[in-house]
Amino acid sequence: MMVRFAIKSTPLFPQPLPKLRMTGRQSWKPQAQRYALYKGFVVACFMDALPDRSRSQAYRTLLACKKPIRLPKDARARMDISIVWTSDRRADSENVFGALADALFENDKNLAGSFDFAFGAKDAGGVWITLELPDDTL
């Protein structure tokens, strides 16, 4: 199953956020709360791109407090991202890939992929994502 979707720049998230590494005691900090909000935004963009049948299964997974994509054992997935930066102040593209994987996959051990980037106008930034998932994933 192939899913394509975009996470466009918003006033709250003008640039994609990198993966945040923290301990459990740091989860109350504003930076960690903003990262959690961004992951929720990523999941919402992903859910909007799903067909109705797959969306209902993904919602059931989310209601169980889990991430929307749960790969079957030994299954592989691929995620290719293209980032359009709106300024020179930006994160490392590899860390943005990690943040997206962290938001979408319960276990990203068998996730492969690539990332590319370009620079665009202030209102044209975002991340374009292509996911290749096994058919029985969603």
pLDDT tens digits, 44-92 = 999 889 887 777 777 777 766 678 888 888 899 999 999 999 988 889 9
- Say if residue 21 is exposed, middle or buried (CB neighbours under 10 Å; 0-12, 13-18, 19+): exposed
Q: 35: helix, coil or strand? A: helix
DSSP alpha helix (H) spans, 7-128 = 30-49, 52-63, 93-104
- Output the domain CATH number for residue 21: 3.30.1330
Selection from 90, 80, 77, 56 nearest residue 137 by Cα: 77
Give the chain's domain count: 1
Domain that holds residue 20: 2-132
| pLDDT (0 to 100) of residue 89 | 86
pTM, rounded to two decimals: 0.89
Residue 90, domain member (yes or no): yes
